[in-house]
Amino acid sequence: MSQHSIISRRPVVNAKQQIVGYEFFFSSQTDDSRNLSEEDVESCAKILSATLDGIQEQWVLGQQIAFIHVDHVMLNMAFIELMPADKTVLQIMRQTKVTPDIIARCEMLKAAKFKIALDNPQQYEHLAPLIAVADFIKIDMRDVNNAQASAWLKKYQAIQRPLIAEGIESRNQFAELQEAGYRYFQGNFYAKPENISVKVINPSFEGVLSLLNLVSQDAENRVIENGFKRDTTLSYKLLRYINSVGFGLSCEVQSIGHALTILGRNQLYRWLTLLMVTAGDNSTSSALMKTSIIRGRLTELLGEALFEKKDKDNLFVVGVFSLLDVILKMPMEQALEKLQLPEPIADALLYRTGVFGPFLQLTEACEDNNSVEIVKLAELLQLNPNQINQCHIDALAWTETLGL
């Protein structure tokens, strides 16, 4: 396997649990993700800069900004400036040697519209001279009590420096910090199953479940169309997705009947999975929905060269439904009882096994910045880092085209 690094990501969300950016990490066979090489950051910069649409001159990751790790060496490298400045946050790592030249370089980059983030300057005092140029300050909240969290917030609010609370692993901690006044967060709290003992499906999901089962039973189009007609919201959402840029049709689809005619059952099932994860009540966060859809697209793209069209659609379903237990607030086994899924999909969702399981595992490892798993699975699936990185960025960009 090549020594080039594989990119993984961690979302930055706001107080409404909407994704506002992604912090990108690097996993390789030899390096810890905190010990970056020039090659790591240059590779990431080239991939991300390539997502700037040369025709429309738009950042295809939508409104999201990219947090890129840099140290004193990389700050002076010309390739940093390949990135679109107004969408890039240069995260100054804790090992950075802060000199007058580095301070001047950060000031120059800020003047060019780059943003600067600091990595826990409350613990690493040598970073203090950069606080004046920082746009964000990241605070690790693991093993931090409420009093200390409030003290840090007060300190940095006084100089108008927004804080990002990282390492948030529970909804309770998120709620407490939100109540204290924190506005940006990182962690897996929104995608972790908590209190999933509910034994009933929320009414907003029932219509989609019924439609999914009708499609899997190969019901007639008129029966499926009638199912959509009973819920105008679902009809609207399906037509919106089909007519989005991500679907790539050359003509506008104006009716459910037309959609059923041109889609085919596999594609219809694929898009109903999107409705499944976006049909919830207000307790289903935007970050959770987006993460499940990114999982679907990334899992599909990772297996694109190895599967026929039907199985590629199944890979998409596996990725999207991998967070179904969190979305439906019930154990995965119980959630799958409501759906009539093929055995290979169920095996992947329940046990991460079978023909689709390793692709889902790699998708999840790219979220968790799990270097060991990423390298092991990449070798198992015979995917090189460049392939995985391109799939990852393409999945993020594709999800933005859905307008969620």
CATH, residue 255 = 1.10.3210.10
Q: Is residue 371 a part of any domain in this protein? A: yes
Query: Of 117, 109, 8, which is closest to residue 67 (Cα–Cα)?
Result: 117
What pLDDT was estimated at residue 264?
Answer: 82
Considering the domain architecture, whether residues 243 and 179 belong to the same structural domain is answered as no
Q: Is residue 152 a part of any domain in this protein? A: yes
What pLDDT was estimated at residue 31?
Answer: 47
Considering the domain architecture, whether residues 172 and 207 belong to the same structural domain is answered as no
Helix (H, G, I), strand (E, B) or coil at 277: helix
Q: How many domains does the chain have?
A: 2
- Three-state secondary structure string covering 122-161: CCCHHHHHHHHHCCEEEEECCCCCHHHHHHHHHHHHCCCC
Beta bridge partners of residue 6, listed in sequence order: 27
Instruction: Tell me the whole-structure pTM to 2 decimals.
Output: 0.89
Q: Which domain holds residue 158?
A: 6-191
Considering the domain architecture, whether residues 185 and 301 belong to the same structural domain is answered as no
Question: What are the residues whose beta carbons fall under 8 Å from the beta carbon of 241, sequence distance 6 or more?
Answer: 247, 271, 274, 275, 402
Considering the domain architecture, whether residues 269 and 363 belong to the same structural domain is answered as yes
Residue with the two structure tokens 């034994």: 199
Q: Is residue 1 a part of any domain in this protein? A: no
For 7: left if phi > 0, alpha if psi spans -120 to 50, otherwise beta; the answer is beta
Instruction: Give 371's Cβ-side CA count (13 Å radius).
Output: 15
What pLDDT was estimated at residue 2?
Answer: 41
Pick out the chain residues at pLDDT < 50: 1-2, 31-34, 52-56
Q: What is the pLDDT of residues 184-200, one digit of tens each?
A: 999 999 998 876 665 56
- Structural tokens at position 211: 């439609």
- Structural tokens at position 71: 């140290």
Q: Is residue 268 a part of any domain in this protein? A: yes
Phi, psi of 237 (to 5 degrees): -65, -45
Q: Is residue 198 a part of any domain in this protein? A: no
Return the H-helix or E-strand segment holding 232. helix 232-242
What pLDDT was estimated at residue 38?
Answer: 64
| 224 within 8 A of 200, measured Cβ to Cβ | no
Q: Is residue 172 a part of any domain in this protein? A: yes
Considering the domain architecture, whether residues 237 and 382 belong to the same structural domain is answered as yes
Domain end point (choices 191, 222, 252): 191
What pLDDT was estimated at residue 77?
Answer: 84
Q: Is residue 324 a part of any domain in this protein? A: yes
Q: What is the pLDDT of residues 377-390, one digit of tens each?
A: 999 999 998 899 88
Dihedral of CA atoms 399, 287, 17, 169 in degrees, nearest 10, equals: -150
Considering the domain architecture, whether residues 185 and 239 belong to the same structural domain is answered as no
| 12 within 8 A of 184, measured Cβ to Cβ | yes
Considering the domain architecture, whether residues 376 and 230 belong to the same structural domain is answered as yes
